[in-house]
Structure 1
């Protein structure tokens, strides 16, 4: 039955690739899922245990960290541009008294 469902999903979503089912020592069955037409990347795994199916998504920590770094760099660039355009300190003028 599980193989039939996977065949239906594969026919519906050509960009998804399902790995061979792997059975762990505790009796769980793990099926990997990757996606992408040109650059496949891991999406997650299906875990079948005790008649229940759970989806565990793969998280790309590198992509999350890169997004945080780029956000910080862009904020720093805007702040630097704002300070050079109009510094936050007051205008100082030297006048000579006679």
Structure 2
């Protein structure tokens, strides 16, 4: 089966959760097919299929700002939890060998 024949079999008006857009050709001869995901009545872009000659390629639609925001928020949460652990630590781990009663000899001196 050739690629143009397989393009005709893609559901354009939507399947369960993915919608394939109308394929179109660019100036350099590549065929581009947009892909979206439908959820709760709204569609979000997932990526595109680019077919250059006989080689198809998937290009994902990645939101770099969202990924950076998740990294910053994760770092802030780690800093807050670390600060709280240092500031609110209990006093009992500060026992030393000289102040421990159980280490003194039984003679009572």
TM-score using structure 1 length: 0.74
1:58 is displaced (CA, Å) by 1.2
2:78 to 75, 78, 81: 75
Residue of structure 1 in register with 2:24 after alignment: 22
Q: Greater CA radius of gyration, 1 or 2?
A: 2
RMSD: 2.1
2:66 to 63, 68, 76: 63
Whether 1:47 and 2:50 are equivalent positions in the alignment is yes
* Unpaired segments ≥5 residues, structure 1: 92-98
1:63 is displaced (CA, Å) by 1.6
Question: Post-superposition, which runs of at least 4 consecutive aligned residues in structure 1 deviate over 4 A?
Answer: none
Partner Cα separation in structure 2 for residue 50 and residue 31 of structure 1 = 14
1:40 is displaced (CA, Å) by 2.1
* Unpaired segments ≥5 residues, structure 2: 95-109
1:78 is displaced (CA, Å) by 0.7
Checking the alignment, whether the CA contact within 8 Å between 2:47 and 2:61 is kept in structure 1 is yes
1:59 is displaced (CA, Å) by 0.9
Deviations 1:56-86 (A, max 9, x none): 1111112201110111111111111012113
Partner Cα separation in structure 2 for residue 48 and residue 56 of structure 1 = 11
